[in-house]
Structure 1
Amino acid sequence: MHQDVKLYAHGITKKFGRRTVLDNVHLAVHAGEITAIVGANGCGKSTLLRICAGLTSPDRGTVQVHSTLGYCPQDGGTVDFLLPDEHFTLIGAGRGLSRRASRAAGHAHARALDWEPDPVQARRLSGGTRQKLNLVMASIGEPDVLLLDEPYQGFDRGTYLDFWDQLHAWRDQGKAIVVVTHLLTQLDRVDTVLDLSRTTTPWRTGHR
């Protein structure tokens, strides 16, 4: 395996009952690369990301992550009664950061999304703002691998563009990024694409 491969998934197969959701899927994501996972609803995009994050076990296949990892779910992930700063502190503590460093990192990443976190419980945030919170939590501690499951749900156009600017900045920093999306209309935004409706291996976009 090439030394700059940060995430390597080989032969991933997953069934739910009699239904095969993923069948012998392969994925290798390098440092400084964005991979998009696309495909029809129900083709296993979120399941593959959860397997790569270690939250779901495959029936067959292996996943290797050669660095620290951050994961942003499509929904959930926040605690209703906690403030954004308390989320930052909780995640930061798990990554060895002090309370002050965790909050500073959270606010810095929030500003990149044009968001200033208010001291409001998560249950009172809009869906789009809760998703910003999820995305910020995934990035605290500067993980080298980021797994993002349709993280822009509820974003307005300005924030959606800020999101892609942030992804490109992370790529320039050498991070390996996987983003599940159904809104990708410009393939030059990413480096490789895995279309689970058509194939089990990624193809390069020719962007870089």
Structure 2
Amino acid sequence: MSQRENTLTVVDLHKSYGHRSVLRGVRFELREGELLGIIGENGAGKTTLLGLLAGILKADRGTISRCGDIGYCPQKIVVNDDLTVAQHLRYFQCAYHLENLDRAVEVTERLGLAGYADTKAGMLSGGTKQKLNLTLALMHNPRIVLMDEPYQGFDWENYLNFWAITTELRDQGCSVLVISHIAHDTERFDRLFRLDSGVVVPAEPAGPPARRPKNRQVAS
């Protein structure tokens, strides 16, 4: 079996805010057909790292090599409260130069978002906004998917739907990176890292996840 191609390669990545050094030489690679997790405590620099990988932020030093289109689902929900769900999809259809909305419709149906097509984003709950946030990141079938706390506010059913979609993306050859401070379901990842003291190091997977009540929301 031939070795899988690296779709994202990070070498000696540094980022500081004033005198505060957040990232101090991050190195890792993301492979095609891989589901990679990076966990870390609040304030460890996870969101900064993902912003750099997505091209939203500029590194002080280091290199990031990407191979393929990126789908970016940030922790901060980036929707316009005055636009409906359907208007968001049409707007991003133009931005992504898509011929149709077939993939977007598929994702909204699986996440239980389809019934909100004519609802303004400002009227949606936080968890439902996050469904839209995730749909916008996946609707153009990107080769690389970067997600920051992507299931915050999801109930148990949608949490499972999220993992089903994510696993399918991996199995179809997509490279998926999930960043979170929650160490749930670590056995789902092909590889797991921890962001600690500004560097990425291998993390030992936790034990089997505890069973949760069906309607319990996943902590953000």
TM-score by length of 2: 0.86
Task: Give 1:34's aligned residue.
Answer: 35
Higher mean alpha-carbon deviation, 111-120 vs 55-64, is at 111-120
Task: Give 2:184's aligned residue.
Answer: 185
Answer yes or no: is 1:96 the counterpart of 2:94: no
1:110-125 map, 5 Å = 110-118=108-116, 119-125=118-124
Cα distance, 1:199 vs structure 2 = 7.4
> Equivalents in 2 of 1:132, 1:24: separation in Å?
33
Report percent identity of matched pairs: 34
Q: Secondary structure at the match of 2:37?
A: strand
Task: Count residues in correspondence.
Answer: 202
**Is the contact made by 1:191 and 1:204 (CA closer than 8 Å) also made in structure 2?**
no
> Equivalents in 1 of 2:114, 2:186: separation in Å?
30
**Is the contact made by 1:12 and 1:62 (CA closer than 8 Å) also made in structure 2?**
yes
Unaligned runs of 5+ in 2: 206-220
> Equivalents in 1 of 2:9, 2:39: separation in Å?
18
Task: Give 2:211's aligned residue.
Answer: none
**Is the contact made by 1:51 and 1:58 (CA closer than 8 Å) also made in structure 2?**
yes
Counterpart AA for 1:108: E
Instruction: Report the CA distance shift for 1:199/1:13 in structure 2 as closer, same or farther (over 3 A).
Output: closer
> Equivalents in 1 of 2:172, 2:204: separation in Å?
20
Cα distance, 1:37 vs structure 2 = 1.3
> Equivalents in 2 of 1:112, 1:16: separation in Å?
40
Task: Give 1:105's aligned residue.
Answer: 103
Counterpart AA for 1:135: L
Cα distance, 1:174 vs structure 2 = 0.5
> Equivalents in 1 of 2:4, 2:181: separation in Å?
31
User: 1:10-51 CA deviation, whole Å, 9 max, x = no partner?
Assistant: 111100111111110012100110111111111100100000
> Equivalents in 2 of 1:6, 1:63: separation in Å?
10
Unaligned runs of 5+ in 1: none
Task: Give 2:173's aligned residue.
Answer: 174
Cα distance, 1:183 vs structure 2 = 2.3
RMSD after superposition: 1.8
